[in-house]
A and B are shown apart, each in its own frame.
Chain A
Amino acid sequence: MQNVVVLGGGVGGSVVANHLAKKSRRGDCKITVVDEDGKHVYQPGFLYVTLGKQNPAKLMRDERTLLKRRVDMVTSRAERIDAGERTVHLAGGKKLDYDYLVIATGSTLHPEQVPGFEGAHHFYSLEGSIGLRNALMKFNGGDVVIAVGGVPYKCPPAPAESACLLDYYFTKRGIRDKVNLKFLSPLGRVFPLESLDPLVTEVFKQKNVETTIFFNIESIDPKSKKVESLEGETVSYDLLIAIPPHSGADVVIDSGLGDRGGWIPTDRHSLLAKGHGDIYVVGDATDIPISKAGATAHYEGLVVGDNIAARLKGQSPPDNYDGKVTCFCDAGFHKGIMMTFDYENPPVPPPLNRRHYLGKMMINRLYWMLIPKARV
């Protein structure tokens, strides 16, 4: 019996474990998921928490309830991976040996890396989203600035989505004319996907969202309420929404498996950690320069599940990850955009419509039933 250990109980880890459980027989392998707190969080719901439209408690479930019965679950902190010994060291001294290891440890937020970040709000954690919701409820007018504090960050379109949803939120509250929405893009365009940039630029124009390009946060001064960029510009704010810098997980960094940002050098097709034939990487944890997003982790997880199942049977890995990402964005006023792209095919600019908004709402509802359980 071979041991497959999966580090991380988010989208990627859950999909790998459940898909592998479906594709392999009980006698082929023992599958163990290790997660620090045993909680699975649906992060796309954070934006709706900020608007007061989502109950935060409903975005979290016990990971155990999402895993197939034959998958073992260990709630513990993974402290170090010894790739030579094929062992994971857990907090408290326990060790897990593996034949195949899947690292799905996601990304970690580092607001402390931006001086003055305490002067900003964000929606990249449940706690942060609740804080932003409370600040927005008290906000009655002034400059609302949305900016990015470090690249890469999860879900690159999310800051633009936030600007659109805040336009909707303040309109509904009847105070849109008292709010200046300012969007500071880290790139040379307002939207990360070049083919969609003209569409989003037009949407921002219609919604009266002011834009500045090439603005990557260097520091924040909470006293004077100013934010300064890496490129040398300064912008004033009354309420600042800033995406915190991200890094790979501590266990990756402490095990010497990551690059300078803590992301694991990963083959973009096989999803094997470079130099390691028995370590797969999915989701945010890779260094592959594509969206760090749940959909990425989902599609990668299916590929890794298939490939480990085949190798357990002595067969060649059948799948290559083609870079597929699907992304739904809510543009406010019940309109949305859906984009699909891969390594070879850029997204085709879609129309902004109600169907894609409803698609996003459907995913939000069906997520728990379909995705972590690897039913799709």
Chain B
Amino acid sequence: MDRTVDARDTFCPGPLMELIRAVKEGEVGEVIAVWSKDAGSQRDIPLWIEKAGHELLAVNEKEEYNEFVIKKLR
């Protein structure tokens, strides 16, 4: 993991915006993990990753949150 973004307990702007920020700042090939308790992330994050052309490596269910692991491809 190159970077972990803890976006638990954030309602505005939300975990997706934190992920977009991390992807924009990162280098191609970097692996980024985002932690989210937001139910909407289950839908939003995979959709954005697909649209933006990156790779969702894993969604890990933790005790009180989900961890999305993403690889920046372009």
A binds B: yes
Contact of B9 among A150, A192, A195, A343 (CB under 8 A): A343
Contact yes or no, B43 A186, CB < 8 A: no
Which residues of A (215-249) have their CB < 8 Å from a CB of B?
A: 216, 230-232
Contact yes or no, A260 B25, CB < 8 A: yes
B47 located at the interface, meaning its Cβ lies under 8 Å from any Cβ of chain A in the complex:
yes
Task: Write the nearest CB–CB distance from A270 to chain B, whole angstroms.
Answer: 15
Residues of B within 8 A of A260 (CB): 25
In the complex, the chain B residue whose C-beta lies closest to that of A153 is B13
Known A188-B43, A230-B52, A289-B18; contact A151-B24, beta-carbon cutoff 8 A: yes
Residues of A within 8 A of B25 (CB): 260-261
Contact yes or no, B44 A188, CB < 8 A: yes
A116 located at the interface, meaning its Cβ lies under 8 Å from any Cβ of chain B in the complex:
no
B17 located at the interface, meaning its Cβ lies under 8 Å from any Cβ of chain A in the complex:
yes
Contact yes or no, A192 B47, CB < 8 A: no
A341 located at the interface, meaning its Cβ lies under 8 Å from any Cβ of chain B in the complex:
yes
In the complex, the chain B residue whose C-beta lies closest to that of A263 is B21
Contact yes or no, B13 A152, CB < 8 A: yes
Known A187-B44, A232-B53, A260-B25; contact A216-B20, beta-carbon cutoff 8 A: yes
Contact yes or no, B52 A194, CB < 8 A: no
Known A156-B13, A232-B53, A325-B12; contact A188-B24, beta-carbon cutoff 8 A: no
Known A150-B24, A151-B21; contact A289-B13, beta-carbon cutoff 8 A: yes
Residues of B within 8 A of A230 (CB): 20, 24, 52
Residues of B within 8 A of A151 (CB): 13, 17-18, 20-21, 24
Contact yes or no, A186 B20, CB < 8 A: yes
In the assembled complex, the Cα of A261 lies from the Cα of B20 at a distance in Å of: 12
Residues of A within 8 A of B48 (CB): 188, 214, 231
Task: Write the nearest CB–CB distance from A244 to chain B, whole angstroms.
Answer: 14
Task: Write the nearest CB–CB distance from A151 to chain B, whole angstroms.
Answer: 5
A199 located at the interface, meaning its Cβ lies under 8 Å from any Cβ of chain B in the complex:
no
In the assembled complex, the Cα of A156 lies from the Cα of B47 at a distance in Å of: 21
B70 located at the interface, meaning its Cβ lies under 8 Å from any Cβ of chain A in the complex:
no
- Chain A 148-168, CB-CB to B under 8 Å as 1, else 0, gives 001110001100000000000
Residues of A within 8 A of B6 (CB): 289
Residues of B within 8 A of A187 (CB): 13-14, 16-17, 44
Known A214-B51, A261-B25; contact A194-B13, beta-carbon cutoff 8 A: no
Contact of A341 among B5, B12, B15, B38 (CB under 8 A): B12
Interface residues of B (CB under 8 A from A): 5-7, 9-18, 20-21, 24-25, 38, 40, 43-44, 47-48, 51-53
Q: A231-B48, A289-B7 are in contact. List 7 more A-B contacts (CB 8 A).
A: A150-B24, A188-B16, A188-B44, A194-B40, A232-B52, A289-B5, A290-B10
